[in-house]
Amino acid sequence: MNRTPLTRFAWLAIAGAVITIALKTAAYFLTGSVGLLSDALESVVNLVAAVIALAALTIAHRPPDEEHSYGHTKAEYFSSIIEGVLIIVAAIVIGYASIERLFNPQAIELVNIGLIIATLASVVNFFIARALLKAGKKYNSITLEADAHHLFTDVWTSVGVIVGVGIVAITNITMLDPIIALLVALNIVYTGYQLIKRSALGFMDTAIAQEERDKIRLILEKHTGKTIQYHGLRTRQSGRRRFISFHLLVPGTWSVQKGHDLAEAVEKDIRDAIPDVTVLTHLEPIDDEKSYEDISIDRMT
């Protein structure tokens, strides 16, 4: 499957971030709300993250070469980690501005116009996030999914800010504005932590999803029985690409061709069931004791 079209979604995220930054910044200057300022700062993070995502998707699309024989798909994890770090930095800035405003509260002005603009920005973010999430699931891109979940968090954060600023305007309790901004900062920190955690697990060669592992086992069980077995099943995720390896144990009297044909049939069924997968098989004689000594990652001695 061609990865090149995925970069267009990164450009969509960049365009959306520029639009929402302009709208939210305008809302902040009109109202003076630190809550809306926090929302605008998160959109700045969205822009930086979208640019990083564009670079990561471009690198991840590169074909394998002599120095990277398994491809460049892990480049997507760098994007998610950097995005997570930037989110946390934005939260710190928001927290600082909020604490300062707690001690120096200010009235909010032109609330109606400011909230209309902020709402428009949220609507833009919502539709872009939905498009990114759909593409991320379709093409199994952690970069697009991370961007989508971040934008959805931004949408709900904006909703909270808009409601909060509206309450401040009605009640004239100006202290609520920085309190709302602090809650936004905490929410942003959690989002950043989740992105960093997921990317770190990717770098640690985490196994593919349990649902997909179950599919593999069903396929293997379909092809095996008393005289044919399997063991040493291992899986790992690298960006959108999955790597699967296992040993097929067949009668030692089989010809190389017959064993090869079986391996090809099993591999084809796995490729048909799971997209973007590289399958590595190893044939062993079922009646040889040595065939059972290399199940673990380190061969038994």
Reported confidence tier of residue 2, pLDDT bands at 50, 70, 90: very low
How confident is the model at residue 121, as a pLDDT?
A: 87
Q: Do domains 6-203 and 210-292 have the same CATH topology?
A: no
Any idea what the Cα angle at residue 297 is, between residues 294 and 301, rounded to 5°? 45
d(CA 291, CA 301) in angstroms, rounded, equals: 13
Task: Summarize pLDDT for 60-83 with one digit per residue, the tens.
Answer: 778 888 888 778 877 777 877 877
Residue with the bigger pLDDT between 100 and 183: it is 183
Give the mean pLDDT of 107-117. 75
d(CA 33, CA 177) in angstroms, rounded, equals: 7
Task: Summarize pLDDT for 285-294 with one digit per residue, the tens.
Answer: 999 888 888 7
How confident is the model at residue 127, as a pLDDT?
A: 93
Of the candidate ranges 11-20, 151-160, 223-232, 259-268, the one whose mean pLDDT is the lowest: 151-160
Determine the straight-line distance between the first and last CA of the chain, rounded to whole angstroms: 42
Quick check: 206 and 237 in contact, CB under 8 A? yes
Q: Which residues pair with 96 in a beta bridge?
A: none
d(CA 45, CA 35) in angstroms, rounded, equals: 16
How confident is the model at residue 215, as a pLDDT?
A: 94
Reported confidence tier of residue 225, pLDDT bands at 50, 70, 90: confident
How confident is the model at residue 1, as a pLDDT?
A: 42
Reported confidence tier of residue 250, pLDDT bands at 50, 70, 90: very high
Task: Summarize pLDDT for 23-41 with one digit per residue, the tens.
Answer: 888 888 888 777 677 778 7
Domain ranges across the chain: 6-203, 210-292
In the block, which residue shows the tokens 């349990």?
210
In the block, which residue shows the tokens 């809302």?
27
Sheet order of strands, 241-250 included: 229-238, 241-250, 277-285
236 by Cβ neighbours in 10 Å (0-12 / 13-18 / 19+) ranks as: middle
Quick check: 28 and 173 in contact, CB under 8 A? no
Reported confidence tier of residue 107, pLDDT bands at 50, 70, 90: low
- Does the pTM of the predicted model rise above 0.85? no
**CA nearest 213: which of 153, 292, 273?**
273
Q: Helix (H, G, I), strand (E, B), or coil: what is residue 145?
A: helix
Is the pLDDT score of 233 beyond 50? Answer: yes
Tell me the CATH class for 210-292: alpha beta
204 by Cβ neighbours in 10 Å (0-12 / 13-18 / 19+) ranks as: exposed
| Residue 107 backbone phi and psi in degrees, to 5 | -75, 150
d(CA 169, CA 173) in angstroms, rounded, equals: 8
d(CA 40, CA 122) in angstroms, rounded, equals: 11
**CA nearest 184: which of 4, 21, 41?**
41
Give the mean pLDDT of 244-254. 95
> Which amino acid, 162?
I
How confident is the model at residue 3, as a pLDDT?
A: 46
Tell me the CATH class for 6-203: mainly alpha
Give the mean pLDDT of 226-238. 90
User: Three-class SS string for 230-293?
Assistant: EEEEEEEEECCEEEEEEEEEECCCCCHHHHHHHHHHHHHHHHHHCCCEEEEEEEEECCCHHHHC
Is the pLDDT score of 262 beyond 70? Answer: yes
Give the mean pLDDT of 207-226. 91
Give the mean pLDDT of 224-243. 88
Helical residues (DSSP H) of 140-249, grouped into ranges: 142-171, 176-203, 210-223
How confident is the model at residue 272, as a pLDDT?
A: 94
